A = this chain, B = another copy of it.
Amino acid sequence: MTIAYPNGSGKIFEKPMPSKKKAIEFGKRGMSFEEEINQSNEYYLTRGIAVIHKKPTPVQIVRVDYPSRNRAKITEAYFRQASTTDYNGVFQGKYLDFEAKETKNKTSFPFANFHEHQITHMENVLSQNGIAFVLLYFSSLNRVFFYPASKLIVRFKEKNTRKSIKLSDIECEGIEITLGFAPRIPYLDAVQVFLQMLTKTD
């Protein structure tokens, strides 16, 4: 639940070995997809590129003890369902809002990964002219896609007839993110491409 950021790790990733040509695989680095995104956000923040944070896990606190003056100890609490997506923030004046999901599937992304309230939240964000999307990670393929909320919402509403989004549709309607070292998941590159596409269709 809690993420520890390695201190000063950015420096290591800024200068990758030139001979390193193998595709980057999250699993082999021992980091989860979420941790990779958090680290990318840290990269964007420290360089003044964007201010994006993961929201804390919502917890309903029932009982708190005070064993010492310095630190309150929560002794009874429960997980609550979030009413929004996990990530939001600001990038060049634009409001960004997204959810990060992963699957082991190789040919499609299951709708079971998304909750009704997240879809509703993304609809609300779009109606306020915010930029809403999902980052989809196919862990078996080591591929990550930016996929616009507008497409996800339409497909999610077809979920009585289909249980997932085909990879071929995601390839067509989304933007693949080339994984890197600094940042690990340069998703803002995809956001910029997406914003340019939006401008052209206006």
State the A residues within 8 Å of B (CB).
Answer: 1-2, 45, 48, 50-51, 53, 55-61, 71-80, 82-84, 88-95, 97, 121, 124-125, 127-130
Contacts and interface: CB of A to CB of B under 8 A. Distances in A.
A1 B61 contact: yes
A79 B77 CA distance: 12
A128 B52 CA distance: 11
A84 B53 contact: yes
Number of copies: 2
27 contacts: A1-B60, A1-B61, A2-B60, A2-B80, A45-B124, A48-B124, A51-B130, A53-B83, A55-B55, A56-B56, A56-B58, A56-B82, A57-B59, A57-B61, A72-B78, A72-B79, A73-B78, A74-B76, A74-B77, A75-B76, A89-B95, A90-B125, A90-B128, A90-B130, A92-B128, A92-B129, A93-B95
B78 A75 contact: no
B93 A130 contact: yes
A83 B83 CA distance: 20
A89 B84 CA distance: 10
Contact of A51 (B50, B57, B78, B128): B128
